[in-house]
């Protein structure tokens, strides 16, 4: 396994992050335990979850599964960097969502209880909420850090200017602020290159891409369809829309003698701003197969060809669209 610093921190995390969103809804608890055990064996020490995963209002199903896994002991908690999130609706009350100090405090305590731990290594705001002032958000986060309940704070789904605003407000309070941003980023979704990635670089945030395979589109969608393998029916329309690109992409991967999923992950890992793409395996086979991406070195020629097939926004703002 390869490791890197999480943004500008001294914290070392694996170059692949284990996403747990499937734990509960699609992956049984015993299978989830097996995946987490195997992840540790493979050297993956970065685990990501959220209080809403499991999709049963207020229950935190996935956090509970992780908590029962941690409860088995064996040094599990000390071997992982545990990340979870706050923001989404966790109850019917008017204050059971968002980024108010009231909700952040309660949500953190609830996550700690479900996860059966005394601290969260990376506490991420799941989405921006511009109706809550930053002095309130940062004061709440500072208290959690002072209490030892949270070590680092991250963001998710923030715009570039949100990152800048957050960091300047944190700096004024002599607080570390954000250390990471978790965003949608893959070959098929490159909008982040305009402003979010430059903001991450400037402020020293590590980028944690979610949906690195674009919901399976970049995981050999055409090949799987040809082989009669299971595919998401909701993706069929986009597959047809992207068919010329997918044909070119999967042919390039075939020429490289690599799987499309591995090439998609390797492309992300090639970006120095990327800390760790989130992989969300439903099975042990999917987890074991992900490690190949760490070994792939993409040539300049291959990177240029990928840009031709999956063009980005043209670079960083404003040069991407201005003279």
Residues with a known catalytic role: 53
For residue 170, which of 148, 190, 155, 159 has the smallest C-alpha distance? 155
What is the distance between the alpha carbons of residues 136 and 131, in angstroms, rounded to a whole number? 11
The DSSP call for residue 48 is E
The beta strand positions in the chain, using DSSP E, are 3-5, 12-14, 17-19, 46-48, 81-86, 120-125, 150-156, 178-184, 206-210, 278-279
Burial (CB count within 10 angstroms: exposed 0-12, middle 13-18, buried 19+), residue 93: exposed
**Would you give the end-to-end CA distance of the chain in angstroms?**
43
Strands 120-125 and 150-156: what pairing?
parallel
273: its two tokens? 């701003």
Collect all residues with Cβ–Cβ distance below 8 Å to 117 and sequence separation of at least 6. Answer: 67, 70, 77, 82
- Quick one: residue 258, left, alpha or beta (phi over 0 = left, psi -120 to 50 = alpha)? beta
Q: Are 140 and 89 in contact (CB under 8 A)?
A: no
Q: Are strands 278-279 and 17-19 parallel, antiparallel or unpaired?
A: parallel
Ramachandran assignment for 253, one of left (phi > 0), alpha (psi -120 to 50 degrees), beta (any other): alpha
Q: Which residues pair with 4 in a beta bridge?
A: 13
Burial class of 299 by CB neighbour count within 10 A (0 to 12, 13 to 18, 19+) = exposed
């Amino acid at each position: 396994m390869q490791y890197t610093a999480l943004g500008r921190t001294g914290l070392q995390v694996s170059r692949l992050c284990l996403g747990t969103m499937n734990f509960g809804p699609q992956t049984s608890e015993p299978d989830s335990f097996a995946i987490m055990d195997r992840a540790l064996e493979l050297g993956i020490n970065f685990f990501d979850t959220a209080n809403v995963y499991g999709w049963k209002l207020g229950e935190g199903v996935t956090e509970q599964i992780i908590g029962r896994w941690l409860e088995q002991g064996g040094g599990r908690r000390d071997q992982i960097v545990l990340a979870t999130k706050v923001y989404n609706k966790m109850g019917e009350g008017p204050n059971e969502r968002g980024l108010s100090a009231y909700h952040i405090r309660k949500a953190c305590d609830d996550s700690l209880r479900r996860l059966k731990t005394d601290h969260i290594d990376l506490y991420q705001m799941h989405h921006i909420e511009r109706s809550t002032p930053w002095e309130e958000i940062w004061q709440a986060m500072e208290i959690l850090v002072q209490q030892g309940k949270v070590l680092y704070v991250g963001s998710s789904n923030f715009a570039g200017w949100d990152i800048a605003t957050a960091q300047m407000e944190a700096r004024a309070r002599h607080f570390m602020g954000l250390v990471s941003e978790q965003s949608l980023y893959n070959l098929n979704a490159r909008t982040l290159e305009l402003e979010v990635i430059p903001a991450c670089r400037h402020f020293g945030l590590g980028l944690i891409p979610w949906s690195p395979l674009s919901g399976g589109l970049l995981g050999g969608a055409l090949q799987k369809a040809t082989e009669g393998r299971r595919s998401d029916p909701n993706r069929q329309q986009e597959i047809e829309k992207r068919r010329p690109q997918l044909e070119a992409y999967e042919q390039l991967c075939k020429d490289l003698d690599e799987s499309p999923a591995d090439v998609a992950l390797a492309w992300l890992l090639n970006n120095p701003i990327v800390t760790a793409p989130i992989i969300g395996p439903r099975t042990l086979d999917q987890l074991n197969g992900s490690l190949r991406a760490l070994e792939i070195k993409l040539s300049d020629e291959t990177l240029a060809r990928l840009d031709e097939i999956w063009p980005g926004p043209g670079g960083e703002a404003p040069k991407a669209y201005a003279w």
